Chain A
Amino acid sequence: MRDVIVFVEHSGGQTRKVTFELAAEARRLADALGGKAHAVVAGSGAAALAQQLQNHPLDKIHYTDDPDVDKYLLDPFVDYLEAVAKMTGPSVVLVPNTMLGRDIAGRIAARLNAGLASDVTELRVENGRVQCVAPKLQGSTITTCAFKAGDYGVITVRPNAFSAAPKSMGAEVLSIEKPPGKSYKMAVESDVEEASGELGLEEAPVVVSGGRGLGGPQPFETLLKPLADALGGAVGASRAAADAGWVPYSLQIGQTGKIVSPQLYLAVGISGAIQHKVGMQTAGTIVAINRDGTVPIGETADLLVVGDLFQIVPALTALVQKAKAAHA
């Protein structure tokens, strides 16, 4: 196990930010293992994305713009990733812990007969073995797992757990040949956008999240969105809000939704049950606004402001906007 391979997730011609975090971590691991850092980028626009990735500390960037990658579900991604992994020999495959990444990870682990470590927040190399640190059991326990030496290992990495470190190292850009004898079956007929602009929820530096206290769908648009925009962040929601149909499930944060780790998490009208806590407890700073001072979110938050969110949020948005304008 020497080389490290990064699966590049991208959408709408943009590389997801987590990819750059993975590239920095791949460099560090590859140096510790005495191997090379690779990236695999597949799908529409891959050639251009491969060029952009040259600004990150990688040795080899493998790309394919095979149209099958976008026409069929998952399998083409896995085939190309497997092709590169087989070329490098036993290696570490880094995949973002996102909806797509989780789907890819289980499959590539089976293909490579590899171990799988999930939702990893810290990586180490000890005696030539890669160790993965990850919170388990609703964040109540931190486990460290090690791969057996000489095998492949697949790791899903939590977005925002690592920092990107852009640096050009003159990485080679290589086209990957289509693996022979592949035919695909699960066809994507259409792709419909519902919550545009929320792609980066797991990667956003700031998340403004709303819960039952918002009372309906409108305040997400009229209160939370302007505050999130002012802070340069994204809007999230508690399960109660998603269950009520106020927001799509894609915005839900918590054990049954997305796990986020932003620098700042603002919980607005969210009581903060354990289910929700699992999804945000590793945020850098947590601020809660609630009309009840005894809610469980107080156990997790750094600051709990007890008051009327319908008055506090617009006033806060105005303060942030004013500070930004003064700064600009």
Chain B
Amino acid sequence: MKAPALKIVVTVKLVPDPNAVRRIDPATKRLVRTGVDTALNPFDEYAIEAALQLKERLGPETTVTIFTMARESMKESLRKALAMGADDAVMLSDPALEGSDVSLTSYAMAQALKKVGFDVILSGALSDDGNTGGVPGALAEYLGVPGLTNVRKIEEIGDGRIKAQRETDTGYQVVTGPLPALVTVTMAVGEPRYASLKGIMGAKKKTIEILSAADAGIDRPLGSDGAKMEVVAIAAPKSREKARVVEAADGASGAQAIFDFLRERKLV
């Protein structure tokens, strides 16, 4: 029996290159995103991997669309996802959206995703820069679809149903529910694949559609006007003193050095 085709949308965040030094502009108190290379949020690459695995399982009629909200100038950073094997991409891009907080970002993304359409949305469980982890939950709420978080394995999908294993603090749960749904995946889905040379060449011809806030039907105050929070101060963290280094000649002396140190600090 042929598996039914699905429309999969992977939401990704474009973050400053994880290998670059990141800083916050003291005037705007926003992350400096210009003049810094942009990359896919490393967690989201796992979501792309999970989506491509589903496409392989379900057949070529299943499509994988990459979705992001970012500046149009970051468009080319999406080519990596297309080179990995996604079919196309959609960007919600509007200068008015800059400075949006978690709530507004999620709302705006939800409006655009309703236009794009989907059977399942896949995303990474956290972002590499803001580290809030709040967007997927808020997105599911604004879309009015069930959320299935921290998935490590999709056991069954299709015919309007999903069955998956999700990680918990103590192990995992098996959860079933209807589609459409929003699914966040953990790193246990498997290492993101590398783009092949053919994939890289092919990605150049794939479409990246740009949606403005108006295209997406966003009707709330945007950017920092619509945001519910503001950054009032930024500071450097307290720096720690460099470690005291002890060369242990043997196990006993190493253990004694630690034990004495813990005693000194009243930790044992």
The chain A residues found within 8 Å of chain B, CB to CB, are 11, 73-75, 98-100, 102-107, 109-111, 113-119, 131, 135-148, 151, 153-154, 156, 185-196, 198-199, 201, 206, 231, 243, 248-250, 255-256, 263-264, 281, 285-289, 293, 297-308, 310-316, 318-320, 323
Contacts and interface: CB of A to CB of B under 8 A. Distances in A.
A105 B136 CA distance: 10
Nearest to B163: A189
B137 interface: yes
A281 B172 CA distance: 28
A256 B106 CA distance: 22
B250 A307 contact: yes
A109 B134 contact: yes
A142, A298, A315 interface centre (most CB from chain B within 10 Å): A315
Contact of A140 (B22, B138, B230): B22
Contact of B234 (A141, A153, A154): A141
A142 B234 contact: yes
Contact of B255 (A192, A198, A285, A315): A315
A192 B171 contact: yes
Given A308-B251, A311-B254, A323-B268, A99 B168 contact: yes
A223 to B, nearest CB: 11
Interface in B240-261: 240-259, 261
Interface stretch (B68-76, B80-88, B89-97, B140-148): B140-148
A107, A190, A193 interface centre (most CB from chain B within 10 Å): A107
A264 B261 CA distance: 11
Contacts of B62: none
A320 B234 contact: no
A283 to B, nearest CB: 10
Contacts of A148: 228-230
Contact of B170 (A106, A143, A250, A289): A250
A315 B251 contact: yes
Contact of A116 (B102, B234, B253): B102
Contacts of A192: 171-174
B175 A186 contact: yes
A147 B229 contact: yes
B24 A137 contact: yes
Contacts of B43: 256
Interface stretch (B3-11, B50-58, B124-132, B204-212): B124-132
B27 interface: no
Contacts of A301: 243
A263 B233 contact: no
B172 A136 contact: no
Contacts of A298: 242-243, 245
A285 B234 CA distance: 25
The interface size bin for chain B is 35 or more
A311 B130 CA distance: 41
A135, A206, A285 interface centre (most CB from chain B within 10 Å): A285
Nearest to B43: A256
A159 to B, nearest CB: 11
A23 to B, nearest CB: 20
10 contacts: A107-B140, A109-B103, A136-B130, A146-B232, A154-B134, A185-B177, A281-B240, A286-B243, A304-B246, A307-B247
A256 B126 contact: yes
Contacts of B152: 249
A98 B125 CA distance: 12
B169, B171, B257 interface centre (most CB from chain A within 10 Å): B169
Contacts of B126: 256
Nearest to B128: A255
Contact of B169 (A250, A287, A310): A250
A135 B237 contact: yes
A143, A263, A298 interface centre (most CB from chain B within 10 Å): A143
A106 B229 contact: no
Nearest to A9: B169
Given A109-B134, A137-B31, A319-B255, A249 B250 contact: no
A140 B237 contact: yes
Contacts of B227: 115
Given A107-B140, A299-B242, A99 B258 contact: no
Nearest to A231: B268
Contacts of B22: 137-138, 140
B17 interface: no
B45 to A, nearest CB: 11
B170 A193 contact: yes
Contacts of B197: none
B131 A119 contact: yes
B265 interface: yes
Contacts of B234: 141-144
A304 B254 CA distance: 10
Nearest to A142: B235
B176 interface: yes
B229 A303 contact: no
A118 B245 contact: no
Given A298-B242, A311-B251, A115 B228 contact: yes
